[in-house]
Structure 1
Amino acid sequence: MSGAVAHLVCDCDGVLLDSEAAAQHALQTQLAARLPGVDAAAVIQPRLGMTLEALLADIAGQHPLPLTPDEIARIRRAVDAEVAARLRAVPGVAAALRAIPLPKAVASNSAGARVRAALRRTGLWPLFQGRVHCADEVGAAKPAPDVYLAACRSLRAAPDDCLALEDSVTGVTAARAAGLRVLGFAGAGHIAAGHAERLLAAGAGLVFDDMRRLPELVRRLQARPF
C-alpha cells in the first residue's frame, strides 16, 4: 500500500451538484405537512447524505410518520422535481476537476439514472469517463463502504491510493470504512453552522469551502499525505 494520492473519488450531491439545498427545502415542505409541530429542518439536518428512503425510515423511528409505498413515492416525486428545476453544478467544480490530472470516479447514494442525467445536464459527465457508482446499483448505501469500494475497483486502485471528496457525515463514514482518505467540502448551499467540525469528527482529514482551492489541496496531499 503506497498511500499516494493517485485517484479522486467524488460524492455527487453537495460536491459536484449544488442540489442538496433544493432537496432539503422540498423535503422540509413535505415533512412539515405530515409532522405538524415538528421542526422538519432539525430532523433532516443530521441525516443528510442518507438515501431518501433510509432518511424517512430513520425519522419514522422517532416520529409518527406514515410511510406507505405511495407516501414515499409522493415525497420522492416532489423532491426530484424541485432538484431538477434548480439543478446546477457547484460553483468552480468543473474548472477545479479539469485542473487535477488524476483519474476520477463518482460514488453516490443517489439513484444511478438521476446522477448520470444530472452530470450530463451540467457538463460534468466527461470528467469521469463513465466511472459512476451509485447505491442502488451496488446493493448497499452509505454509510456502508460498498459504493466507494466499487469506485476503487473501477479505477483499478487500492483504497489508500484514492482521495474521497465528501460533504456529509454519512459519506465521510463510508469513505473511511472503505479505506480512503477524505477531504470534506463545506461550501454547498445546504451547509449549516458547525458542519465542518462534524466532518472532521467523522474522519475527514481536512475541510474546505471553496472549490477553487481543490487543485492546490490535492497537490499538497500528493506531496505530503495526511
Structure 2
Amino acid sequence: MRLPRLFGRKPARPDPEPLRQAILAFLQARTWSESRRVVEEHPELLSDEADALLGQLIAAQEDANARRYLEERRALLRRCREVGVERAFREKTEPAAPSEEEMRQHPLYRLAESVMRGERSLEAALRQATAPDTLQALDDRAIERLDDYILALSRDPARPIQARVRAYVLAELNHAAAQALPASPPIRAYTANRLGNRIEDYPFKTPAHLERRVEAYREALTIWQQEGDERRAAMLQNNLGNAYLRLAEVRDREA
C-alpha cells in the first residue's frame, strides 16, 4: 500500500521535528518488526502529543484507506501504552488467546483441571508442575500461551467464581514452571505479576495468599530492575505498594 501524504496539511499547532520524524518512521515501516524497533527506539511515540498528532492526521485524510491505515497504527500505539510494547506487538502478529480446546493439550492445564475436580491438591499439582517429566514438555512459548489464556479468563466481565479459581490455580502452576525451567527473565516477570493479580481476584484468599501476592510482585519487580526496565519496574512498585497496604489492612483487622 502506498502511504498517503501524511503531513500535507499544517497541524493546528507546530509539532517538534523529532516527534514528527519518529511518527513518519513508524508509519513508513515495512514490517511489524521494523515498526516495533521504531517504537522501542522512540518512546515519545507513546506520548499524548504523538496521539494527538495522529488524531489530527486522521482527521485530515479524505481517503478512507489512509484513514484506516492511520487508525490501525494509532490503536497499536495506544495498546503499547496499555500493556507494553512486547505484548502489544505479540497480540498484533500472533493468533488470539488460545481456546480451551487448545489448552486441554497443555500439561499445566491438565494439572489444573485435576485440582478443580478435587483429584489432587494444589500442593501436589505444584510438585508435578516442576517435575522433570513435566518441564521437558514445556518451553517459553508454552508458558506464554498459558499466560495468554489466564489473561483471557481474567478479562471476562462476569468472572464467575469457578473461572476465578481456575485462573488462580493456572497462575500458580505457570509461575512455578516458569521459575523451574527457567524461562526467560521477561516471562518469569510476567508470570509472577500475573500470579499477584490472580491472587487479588481469588475469592477464597487468606492472609497467607496476600503474603504470597507480595512475594510475587516483589519477584517481578526485582527482575525488571535487573533488566533495567524502569517503566515496568515503576508499575510493579505501584502493585507492590497496594499489596502491602491490603495485607496491612487484613492484619489490622485480625489484631
What TM-score does the superposition give when structure 2 sets the normalisation length? 0.27
Larger radius of gyration between Structure 1 and Structure 2: 2
Higher RCO (C-alpha under 8 Å, 6+ residues apart): 1
What TM-score does the superposition give when structure 1 sets the normalisation length? 0.29
Per residue, is there more strand in 1 or in 2?
1
Per residue, is there more helix in 1 or in 2?
2
